[in-house]
Amino acid sequence: MSIITDSKGIARMASTHPKPEYPRPDLDRSERWLSLNGAWDFETEDGQTTITVPFAWETDASGVARPWLEAARYRREIAVPADWDDARVVVSFGAVHHRATVSIDGVPVGIHEGGYSSFEFDITAVLAAGESGILTVDVEAPADKRSIPHGKQRSFPRDDYDGVSFMPSSGIWQSVWLEARGRTYAASVALHGDTLDGFDVEVRIDGDAPAGAQITVQVLDDSLERLELVSDATGRARGFLRIAEPRLWSPVDPHLYSVGVNVAGQDTVTVTGGLRHFEARGEEFYLNGERFYMRGVLDQGYWPTTGITAPDDAALVADIQLARDSGFNLIRKHIKFEEPRWLHWADRMGMLVWAEPASTSRFSPEGAANFEAQIDDMVIRDGNHPSIIIWGLYNEEWGLDWDIPGDPARAAAAVSAYDRLLRLDSSRPIVENSGWAHVKTDLVDWHYYDEHPASWAKNVAEIATGERESFPVPLGPGFFVDKSIYGSFDVPRRGIPLINSEYGGGFTSIERAWHARWQTQELRRHDRFAGYVYTELIDVEHESAGLFTAERRRKDLGGMNPADHNAETVIIVDLVPRQAGTDIEIPVSTIELGVRLSYHGRDVLTGRVLAKWILAGQAVGFVTDPDAASAQLSVQPFVVSAATTIAVPPSASSRHRRLALWFEDVSGAARARTFVDAGPLEGGSALADR
């Protein structure tokens, strides 16, 4: 990119700039805006240089790549267009970690604290239309982050979870821009469509005359739906915009409505929203009134050269597509507010989202207050997105010192966070402490990592029946602690959804693929579970648990296709596998496998399970000429079928072989695929009755 300096020595972009898209497509004022991304003057204790906004100063993309810097000053020239003389001018920041003090030509315009939430300042009184000035942002980013929300950013002194923390991301890490608004304008618009026949609308007015403002809310299509409102003395207005012929938003039809909001004939903003309803009914999830099973994946939102900032818009789309191609219908964006454009693409692509704020790492009244302070920002900024179906809060008691059961104050902090979020948004299930030690929650989730197939299968089964309420959690090399799923007797043991929201195992990519296939099968074996979230989609730094590398390249998964075991229909094989790459010993005579189906469609599914020996490591794609077939099998939606037996003759070869298994419906279409690997094995057969 080309950089020039003005007469005051302040860096400016000469032409192109990174991330040029309008940052808030869900709250669109892109007709009159200016991106401030690009080169800024950057002053630190090291001296003065330039930095590329919006990339954190630790990243290569910033051009600085400076770790453990705790303070810096950003400066650049800005100019308000002359034709904005009829408007109020607002400078907006997507996110700045952690404390930002903003001024123009030395005149303070505002201070914001919180490294993940968006903020803005009205600068109309400071910089008039047609004038230019120097925008300065002084940033404080403490190395000791333990009492402030920082997610997976590494802290010094270290976090208790330092082993799974990554490079910090300090300073401006989301887009910065100027935009023109009416003299009286809509500062925020909440658009909730969970009634399915229209939108509950709430508008907050700011500017010259917020009280008594005339507001028109209208669907921007061929329909005539509109709503007339008048703001009250506090500048707020509420109403219901009914849709005569509603078209619901869903993953298969992610229809978004564009709704224009006009304030006093001076200000216009286009808001997007969807008509969709997500709820827990007893132990089951329902989306728009239809039974829903969650097939989720955890994603941490890191990129190799840009840190927690996506390098460009295409990268946001590509990550969602990777999840979809792998069979997932939900992404759990892990302890991070992702930028609004990612949520915009999730809305448009029909990808469901579990959203949660960044965590702290040490408990104190200050830390708990800092954690709670983000909740309002999260809901106000992101609550319109129909893709978000679950709100998360704490994760594994991070910020609560892993001790909810041992301290009423820590338990109270989790309850307080839940209550605060519920007051803001009661339309989505809330998880107060993902992983274990639940004290007040709308669903019970548990994180369980176990690389032993027999104990995994046994413990998962006992959690499903309710026999087991705890499991071993590794907190360090050779150090395991039994963690209870429940941290309070007030949390019901039955009657709310039960899901696994973190699991996986193995060191190499082949091992992880093998564990993912078999562990997911065992979760699908039990109808009580309402879903799962696999860990994880993409590698981050030293954490190599992803299906894809940090560079988004597909790994060697030994012929395993994630889309097969994350499908609507999955084959469950009744055996306990022995080791990665060798599920059973090479058979010397006919073997009988028990197989059953997990199916989450709408209608009864009927067909047969077919089997064929193929080459070791071969992908199970389109296979013909089966060596064996089961009897006809019928399966009801959301009810695991009874087992049927398939008798498979031995392979003609004594070498490693793969037994391809696929379910073919009565029309001849392959609806599910899996495989069993056979090879030399000590200790005898792995076949087991289930």
Q: Work out the pLDDT band at 4, boundaries 50, 70, 90.
A: very low
558/581 Cα distance (integer angstroms) = 8
Q: 313-325 and 340-349 are packed helices; what angle lies between their axes, rounded to 10 degrees?
A: 40
Neighbours of 85 (CB within 10 A): 12
pLDDT at residue 683, rounded to an integer? 55
373/306 Cα distance (integer angstroms) = 27
For residues 70-89, give the mean pLDDT: 97
- Could you please report the per-residue DSSP string of 493-535? SSSS-EEEEE----SSHHHHHHHHHHHHHHHHT-TTEEEEEES
Strand arrangement, sheet containing 71-79: 47-53, 38-44, 71-79, 132-140, 99-104, 107-113
Domain boundary, last residue among 219, 249, 276: 276
The helices-and-strands tally (H runs, E runs) of the chain is: 7, 44
pLDDT at residue 30, rounded to an integer? 96
pLDDT at residue 655, rounded to an integer? 84
Residue 687 lies in a domain: no
Does residue 599 surpass a pLDDT of 50? yes
Strands 38-44 and 47-53: antiparallel
Nearest to 417 by CA among 362, 382, 447, 379: 379
383/190 Cα distance (integer angstroms) = 7
Residue 508 belongs to domain with CATH number = 3.20.20.80
124 & 235 share domain: no
For residues 285-303, give the mean pLDDT: 98
Does residue 3 surpass a pLDDT of 90? no
- Residue 215 tokens, joined: 């507001």
Average pLDDT value over all residues in the chain: 93
Residue 324 lies in a domain: yes
Residue 188 lies in a domain: no
468 & 612 share domain: no
42 & 22 share domain: yes
294 & 425 share domain: yes
Q: Work out the pLDDT band at 623, boundaries 50, 70, 90.
A: confident
Residue 134 belongs to domain with CATH number = 2.60.120.260
Q: Work out the pLDDT band at 209, boundaries 50, 70, 90.
A: very high
* E-assigned strand segments in 208-266: 214-219, 226-230, 236-242, 257-263
264 & 315 share domain: no
* E-assigned strand segments in 373-497: 388-395, 430-434, 444-447, 470-476, 479-484
- Residue 136 tokens, joined: 């300065």
For residues 424-436, give the mean pLDDT: 97
Does residue 687 surpass a pLDDT of 70? no
Q: Rg of the Cα trace of the chain?
A: 27
Range of weakest confidence among 390-399, 444-453, 480-489, 575-584: 575-584
546 & 478 share domain: yes
- Taking only the tens place, the pLDDT of each residue in 452-499 is 999 999 999 999 999 999 988 877 677 778 899 999 999 999 999 999
Please report, as a single letter, which amino acid is at residue 460: V
Residue 602 lies in a domain: yes
Strands 236-242 and 107-113: unpaired
Domain boundary, last residue among 566, 599, 634: 566
Q: Work out the pLDDT band at 591, boundaries 50, 70, 90.
A: very high
387/113 Cα distance (integer angstroms) = 27
Residue 16 lies in a domain: yes
Cα four-point dihedral sign 57, 370, 190, 103 = negative
- Residue 403 tokens, joined: 């001790």
Contact 65, 99 (CB under 8 A): no
107 & 173 share domain: yes
Residue 259 belongs to domain with CATH number = 2.60.40.10
448 & 343 share domain: yes
Inter-CA distances, 234 with 201, 230, 237, 407, 581, Å: 16, 11, 9, 41, 65
Residue 684 lies in a domain: no
Inter-CA distances, 562 with 194, 247, 365, 479, 670, Å: 32, 32, 43, 31, 16
Residue 251 lies in a domain: yes
- Count up the domains in the chain and report the number: 4
Residue 685 lies in a domain: no
121 & 199 share domain: no
**Domain that includes residue 262, residue range:** 194-276
123 & 204 share domain: no
pLDDT at residue 686, rounded to an integer? 53
507 & 645 share domain: no
pLDDT at residue 685, rounded to an integer? 47
426 & 556 share domain: yes
For residues 672-686, give the mean pLDDT: 78
139/117 Cα distance (integer angstroms) = 15
Please report, as a single letter, which amino acid is at residue 664: E
pLDDT at residue 690, rounded to an integer? 55
Domain boundary, last residue among 255, 276, 297: 276
What percent of the chain stands above pLDDT 90?
88
pLDDT at residue 589, rounded to an integer? 94
Residue with tokens 């400078």: 91
Does residue 387 surpass a pLDDT of 90? yes
